[in-house]
Each structure stands twice: as C-alpha cells, then as structure tokens.
Amino acid sequence: MEQGSTRGRTTGRPDPAAYGDPAPARVPEQTARGEHTHSEPPAPGLGEPRAVRRHSVRGQILQALRTALVGGELVPGEVYSAPALGERFGVSATPVREAMQQLATEGAVEVVPNRGFRVTERTPRELAELAEVRALIEVPVMLRLARTVPAERWAELRPLAEATGAAAARGDRAHYAESDRAFHRAVLALAGNEQLLAVADDLHRRSQWPLVSAPATRHGELVADAAEHTALLDALIAQDLAVVSALVREHFTGAQH
C-alpha cells in the first residue's frame, strides 16, 4: 500500500499531497549555484542566505533522486557519479553528493570509493524480510486502531486511497510510491506514536526501491495494490479484524513482486 501529517486531529478532507514528499522541481539556476540576489540584507542572527539555499537545493535533489530511484531511472547495480548527476540536474556535485550520502544511510545506494554511488540491488530474500517486519509492526497497530477509531475518521482518509488508485491507473510508479507511503503514514498516525511513524516510514522506503521488475510487468500489480487501500478502509470502518489482518499481510506480500 512504494516518503504530511495526521499528527493532529483532522478537521476536514485531507489533501493527499500533504502526506507525501513534495513533488520534485528543477532547481533554479541562480539558487543551484548558491548566488546572492542582494535584494535584501541577511536577517540578523540567521547567517548567510547561501546556507539556507544550499539546504533547500540538497532537499530538492534528494527528492529528485528518490523519484528517479522509485521510477527506475537509476538502475540497480549501476554506478553514478555526483558530477554527472549534478550536470543532469543543473547543480554542482556538492548537493548531489550530500543527497547521495543520505540515500546511502537509507540503504538505497552504496558508496563506491573514487567512482560514486552504486544503486542497491534488492534480493527476493531482502524484500521478504522487509515485508515480514512491516507486517509485524503494522498489523497489530491497525487491529488496535480498528477497535477504537470511529468510522468518520477512516472516511477522511479515502482521498489518500483514491490518490494511490489514480497513480496506479496512470502507471506512475514514482507518484504511486509517494501516495502509498502517505496512505500508510496517515493510518499509522492515528496511533499517536511518533517513533512508530519514523520506523514504519523508513521500512516502507526501503521496501520500495529500487524496483526490481520492469514497468510493463508492474502496472497490473500497482492497480491491484491500490484497490487494497480502499478495501482496507472499508474493513477498518466495519471493524472486520480478520479482513484487516488478511489484507495488510497480503498487501505486503504482493509488494515484493
């Protein structure tokens, strides 16, 4: 069910984009170079504007790289250099290198000394292990929530489930990954446990990239996975614990393929 917040109480229909990562955008040339506009003086106590821009550039590059990984543009087993990727994104190698280091800590790539970064190749065993750990964490939480969360709260999450369906129908794996994580995060956020959210989100990311099968063989599976989100909401609303458990376990198992 392929990284916004429901940490507070929801008062209306949620915005699907609020639960996922911001959409990648090309970094403005002037910002990417770390140039000053001199339109206004630096704010007292905030340091140089360049430091703020650099952090922003790094974040944008990180999101762009995550999208490329999930979408299959960065191929498992291939080595990519920071200067080459920087040229692709129109930035220097520094923010790319920093973003790649973050991805290395998340297990998406590994450092190749003097060459760059190799995209990690997931084995079936690794994917199965990730699915098992996710089920161990999320199934009991969802069963507990099914007993206590009122139906109207679950209904508020339906736009997030619909967003996964729309992305799957387009065959857009990158946006499906974002909306899938957003849906799971919104569900688990109802437990009110920030540590749970952090651990579950990290496991979810690791299970999403790199995708090991070709896009043409994944479209039907994406559509089927997306349909499970709606079915899960229906089961949660009905407090059908057996169906909730079966759907979540099946969802994680299907995500391995």
* Full pLDDT tens readout for the chain, 257 residues: 543 434 344 444 444 444 444 444 444 443 333 333 333 343 333 333 333 355 688 889 998 998 888 877 888 889 999 999 999 999 999 999 999 999 998 888 999 998 999 998 888 888 889 999 999 999 999 999 999 999 999 999 999 999 999 999 998 888 888 899 999 999 999 999 999 999 999 999 888 766 555 444 467 888 998 999 999 999 999 999 999 999 998 888 765 54
Q: Is 46 helix (H, G, I), strand (E, B) or coil?
A: coil
- Whole-angstrom Cα distance, residue 90 to residue 100? 16
Question: What is residue 216's DSSP assignment?
Answer: G
Write down the pTM of the prediction: 0.69
- Whole-angstrom Cα distance, residue 176 to residue 183? 10
Q: Report helix, strand and coil shares of the chain as percent, to nearest 5.
A: 65, 5, 35
The token duo for 221 is 């599976």
